[in-house]
Amino acid sequence: MLAGCATNGYAPAGRSEQQGFDRLLDSVVRIDVREMRFNGGSARFTSGVGSGVIISEDGLILTNAHVATRKAVEISVTLSNLERVDAELVGWDHWTDLALLRLDVDEVKRRNLTFAHAEFGDSDALSPGQTVFAVGTPHGLTRTVTKGIISNTNRFFEASDGVRGYETGYFNTWLQTDAAINPGNSGGPLVLADGRVVGINSRTYLGAENLGFAIPSNTARVVAAELGANGEVERSYVGLVPGALLDLEGFYELEINTGALVNSVDPGSPAAKAGLRAGDILLAINDQPIDGRFPEQLPPIQNQIASAAIGSELSMTLKRGQERLTVSVTTEKLESRVGEEWAFEKWGMSVRKVSRAFARENRLQDDDGVIVIDTQRAFPAAKAGLSRGDIITKVNSETIGDLEQLKGIYGEFEEDPQSLLVEALRNRSVALFVLKP
């Protein structure tokens, strides 16, 4: 599929490099997002600016997950001809920092607006030193083009809270470029001289200069297709954190370029249940040999696991000391560590559901409960003594299993305000609070 893309080429005969680049410029948009945030104990609107690139005739726009989130309530797109059109979020994937938007097609028709769409290049065919351009809206400066080179084609750069507190970079490597990328460039394309999109600009190192990172187009295309079809990318989870072997082959008596280290196994995860242990060497998954010698080889391994059907069995061949063993691991659906958020306005409290990942990270006994994000001064939650970070586990001796349940209790409170006894975990100690009308 990808090779096909490279050989087909983008610019048909007769179309010059300049024409291709001009067309690209016409497909880059500025994105203004108003979104709901649950800080300060209530729902509040905030706004931000980013970039995006139109990738289809019917107005699909690729941008970053951190530009347009699921909390967006209003997305406004400025086309290159300076017309503004509303757009909606079609799909969101924080793991690759990608989001897919769609222009309001009816409005486009009604107003007779035109736009171009960009085409993808083959990010696997890039080589360091190749000239690239970043196009976007840095600091609100619409349609800014900056120039640089590909500094590295295969950068390992994961972060457990990279996209607004969500994990990112576990399943893909990044293109690194020295083309100037500033806040607002996010979501804009990284392109070749002929305008083909080889990456979606996403991140920089804070405090560094000329260290920009983009999601490779070959990852973006696959993710965009999934987001278009399903709104999300479903992935499998086993709870295994691989580590690079580097020069540990000698210690583990392995041939070079074989196996990946099992650096960590999430407590209670499918991998833990199957008996995997940190320090094991993962030799093969479903008889396919694994090579995790260097960090940049880890995302493909993670992606291989993630790509398995949810609930399927993976056969993992391991080396443990002198022993070789094969275990069967049943995958679960991958979940974010950031649970759903909500604000209970009359209580003056915003909360986030405890996710399975959060529970495991914090060694909670189960994923019951909601975490207090914030409270509003002088409202019932704050007056009761609840504060940020508390984990509400029970209300009136009813265990809070999910957010809907608390919404139900809140609904009853709105209709008929009665004092509620709230049990919460704070610094691992249990404390009782009373929410009074």
Partner 1 sequence: MSRFSPRRGCGLLTLLAILLPGAPLLAPAADTPVAELFEARINSVLAVEFFVETETDRRPSVVIGVPIDSEGTIVLLDSSVPGWLPPDQLKDFQIYLPRSRDGIAGSYLGQDQLTGWHFIRADEGLPKEVVPVTEYAPVDPDLGMDAWGIGLLGKDFDFEPYLQKGSVSLVQKIPQEVGFSVNDLASPGAPVFARSGDFLGWAGNPIWKERHMYLENDRYNVSIRNPNGTGSFLLAKEFLPYLDRIPETATGQVVPWLGVVGMQPVEREAAKFLKIENVSAILISDIVAEGPAAKAGILKRDIILTIDGEEMPKFSPQRAVNGYIEREILRRAPGDTMTLGILRGTEERLEFTVTLGQQPKPLKEAERNYFERLGITLRELVLFDKISRQIVDSEESGVIANFVKPNTPANTAGLLAGDMVLEIDGVAIDGYSQAIEIMQAIEDDEERREFVLLISRGTETSVIRVRLK
- Helix, strand and coil percent figures for the chain, each rounded to 5: 20, 40, 40
User: Which listed residue (51, 186, 236, 269) is catalytic?
Assistant: 186
Nearest approach in angstroms of CB 380 to partner 1 is 11
User: Which listed residue (26, 97, 194, 374) is catalytic?
Assistant: 97
Nearest approach in angstroms of CB 324 to partner 1 is 14
How far is residue 295's CA from residue 216's CA, in Å, rounded to a whole number? 17
104 included as an active-site residue: no
Cβ atoms of residues 211 and 179 within 8 Å:
no
Counting every residue written for the chain, the total comes to: 437
Footprint on this chain of partner 1 (rule: CB under 8 A): 241, 243, 246-248, 251, 261, 263-267, 278-279, 321, 360-363, 384-385, 397, 419, 421, 423, 425, 428-434, 436
Q: Which is nearer to partner 1, 180 or 244 (CB)?
A: 244
Q: Which is nearer to partner 1, 243 or 300 (CB)?
A: 243
Nearest approach in angstroms of CB 39 to partner 1 is 22
Residue carrying the six token digits 């950068």: 155
Q: Which is nearer to partner 1, 24 or 420 (CB)?
A: 420
80 included as an active-site residue: no
Burial 282-298 (b: 16+ CB within 10 A, else e): bbebeeeebebbebbbb
Burial 371-393 (b: 16+ CB within 10 A, else e): bbbbbbeebbbbbbbbeeebbbb
Three-state secondary structure call for residue 166: strand
How far is residue 262's CA from residue 282's CA, in Å, rounded to a whole number? 6
Q: Which is nearer to partner 1, 71 or 320 (CB)?
A: 320
Q: Which residues contact 197 (CB under 8 A, 6 or more apart)?
A: 24, 53, 55, 118, 119, 120, 121, 189, 190, 191, 217, 220
Nearest approach in angstroms of CB 423 to partner 1 is 8
Q: Which is nearer to partner 1, 26 or 280 (CB)?
A: 280
DSSP state string for 91-133: EEETTTTEEEEEE-HHHHHHTT-------B--GGG--TT-EEE
Q: Which is nearer to partner 1, 140 or 267 (CB)?
A: 267
Tokens at residue 239, please? 């709870």
Nearest approach in angstroms of CB 261 to partner 1 is 6
97 included as an active-site residue: yes
Tokens at residue 187, please? 């979501």
User: Which listed residue (66, 123, 202, 368) is catalytic?
Assistant: 66
Residue carrying the six token digits 């994000």: 373
The dihedrals phi and psi of 347, each to the nearest 5 degrees, come to -85, -20
Three-state secondary structure call for residue 160: strand
How many C-beta atoms lie closer than 10 Å to residue 60's C-beta? 21
Nearest approach in angstroms of CB 405 to partner 1 is 19
Sign of the alpha-carbon dihedral angle for 224, 228, 232, 237:
negative
Nearest approach in angstroms of CB 390 to partner 1 is 12
Nearest approach in angstroms of CB 421 to partner 1 is 5
Q: Which is nearer to partner 1, 225 or 432 (CB)?
A: 432
How far is residue 26's CA from residue 186's CA, in Å, rounded to a whole number? 17
The beta strands (E) that lie in 169-259 are given as: 174-177, 189-191, 197-204, 212-216, 236-237, 240-243
Q: Which is nearer to partner 1, 223 or 265 (CB)?
A: 265
Q: Which residues are catalytic?
A: 66, 97, 186
